[in-house]
Structure 1
Amino acid sequence: MSELHTIRCVGCEGGIPALTHDEISKLLPQVKGWDVSADEKFISKRFTFKGFYKTMAFVNAVAWIANQENHHPDMEVGYNYCLIKYTTHAVNGLTKNDFICAAKIDNLEATNI
């Protein structure tokens, strides 16, 4: 299991480069089921649930994580699913923060919300 979920995000106001292809390739296997976009600017994962209540419980838990880490995803929410996309807007690409938050969400999913 990845240890990324134990690390805190570092504030990012830009001025650093986005992750390279090689750096992304090393981090991606540490977040189960996440996909990287063809342009390597975001990672995403679709989560499915049995009904609206469980979906919303998950969305609220993700919102709590996002606020704790001060790193917020884009989310598409429906009756029984949530699609999460992470990117670091300040660098117009991916940073380690995106993978840290993905790992924290994977850890959340393991608790069976």
Structure 2
Amino acid sequence: MLSEQKCEACSIDAVALNKGERDTLLLELSDWHIIEREGIPQLEKVYKFKNYKQAWAFSNKVSELAEDEFHHPSILLEWGKVTVTWWSHSIKGLHKNDFICASSCDGFVENE
């Protein structure tokens, strides 16, 4: 399970996941979607909250995860809503780490 895994350091020769690998890992996540921006597949989810303060607190947890894993997503914080987008910049695509971090984000919501 993704929720039980930790990120691994991406080596210089790391390869992006292919579509089949991405689709298989996506089955382990809830409400995440693979989108493409500028030809780069990215993993994205919108979280909804009752107010800005809850959304902000969630954003801080995602930021702490990013620093701990040295893997940084795009985080869009709005009133009652946070959009999190993971992808691996160095390989211009998705790595298993992106799915592990996405699963961790879901855990922050489940544990509240």
TM-score, normalised on structure 2? Answer: 0.91
1:54 aligns with 2:54: yes
Q: Deviations over 1:23-77 (max 9, x none)?
A: 0111001111100014561010000101111011101111111111111100111
Secondary structure of the residue aligned to 1:41 is strand
Question: What residue identity is the alignment partner of 1:55?
Answer: A
CA spacing shift, 1:86–1:94, aligned 2, 3 Å: same
More strand by share: 2
Contiguous gaps of at least 5 residues in structure 1: none
1:27 aligns with 2:25: yes
TM-score, normalised on structure 1? Answer: 0.91
Corresponding residue for residue 110 of structure 1: 110
The root-mean-square deviation of aligned C-alpha atoms, in Å, is 1.3
1:14 CA displacement: 3.7
What does 1:1-80 align with in structure 2 at a 5 Å threshold? 3-38=1-36, 41-80=41-80
Moved more, 29-38 or 11-20: 11-20
Aligned-pair identity (%): 29
Answer yes or no: is the 8 Å Cα contact 1:50–1:80 preserved in 2: yes
Answer yes or no: is the 8 Å Cα contact 2:7–2:100 preserved in 1: yes
Contiguous gaps of at least 5 residues in structure 2: none
- Name segments (4+ residues, structure 1) moved above 4 Å: none
1:111 CA displacement: 1.2
